[in-house]
Amino acid sequence: MSKIKCIIIEDEPLAVKVLADYITQVPFLQLEGSFKDAILATEWLRTSEVQLMFLDIHLPKLKGMAFLRTLTKKPAVIITTAYNQYAVEGFDLDVTDYLLKPIEFERFLIAVNKVRDTNDKRQPISETGEVKDFLFLTVQKKKVKILFAEIVYIESQREYIKVVTSKKEFISRMSTHEIEELLPKHIFKRIHRSFIISVNKLESYTAESVEVNGISIPIGRGYREVIEKL
C-alpha cells in the first residue's frame, strides 16, 4: 500500500509535535516536513507534491484560509485550530475535516481515514488494464453510473455537489475535492473554488467567466492561469 505524503503547517511547536507523533503511529501516512508559516510552505510546494496538509488557521504572515485560496491545485486539507467559528468557511473551501485543539488521537484517525478512503476510490484503470471512462456516484442511496464524456460541470453546494451532465443533473453528498480526485485531470479543471468544468465542453471564455454548453460559469481570481494554460 502506497503511503499518503503529508505536511504540517503550524506555528505552535507543541501542536507540531502532537501531529508528528500521531502521523508516525499511522502506517499509511508519511510526514514530508513541517512549516511554521504558509509562505514557507508555498515555496516548498513549488517543487514538491503531497496528498495531505494539516493546516492551522491562525498563522503569521498569511492566514490559513487565505493560503488555501492561493492554491490552484490543492491536496486534501485537514484544518487544525482552537477556533470552531471557521468550520463553515473551511468546508466551503473543500477541506476534508476540521479538528479542534486539543486533538485526540481517535478523532485524528477518523479524519485521516477519510483521506485514505478518498484515495482508495481513485481507480482510473480497470482490472483489465483499460482506462475507465466513467464513475459511480451515490445518489439517494443508489450507485449511478456517469460517463466522463457526458459531464458538463460540477458545482459545490456546501456538503453536497451537483453534477450537471448533458442528460440530467445529479446531487451527491461529497465535496468537489473528493470528486476531483476521481476525475481524469486532463479533462476536468477546477476554475473556481465551487466549480469544476469539462474542458471538452468549453465553448468560450473571458477573464471573468467561461461558457460550457451555453452556461456561464465564473472564474475564481486564483484560477485564471488554469484557463490560460489550456
The domain ranges of the chain are 4-121, 134-228
Is domain 4-121 annotated with CATH 3.40.470.10?
no
3 has pLDDT over 90? no
Instruction: Answer whether 4-121 and 134-228 agree in fold.
Output: no
CATH number for 134-228: choose from 3.40.50.1820, 2.40.50.1020, 3.40.50.280, 2.40.30.70. 2.40.50.1020
Average pLDDT, the chain: 86
Nearest to 65 by CA among 53, 73, 56, 52: 56
Higher pLDDT, 82 or 26: 26
pTM score of the predicted model: 0.54
| Residues 49-76 pLDDT 10s | 899 999 998 888 888 888 988 887 788 9
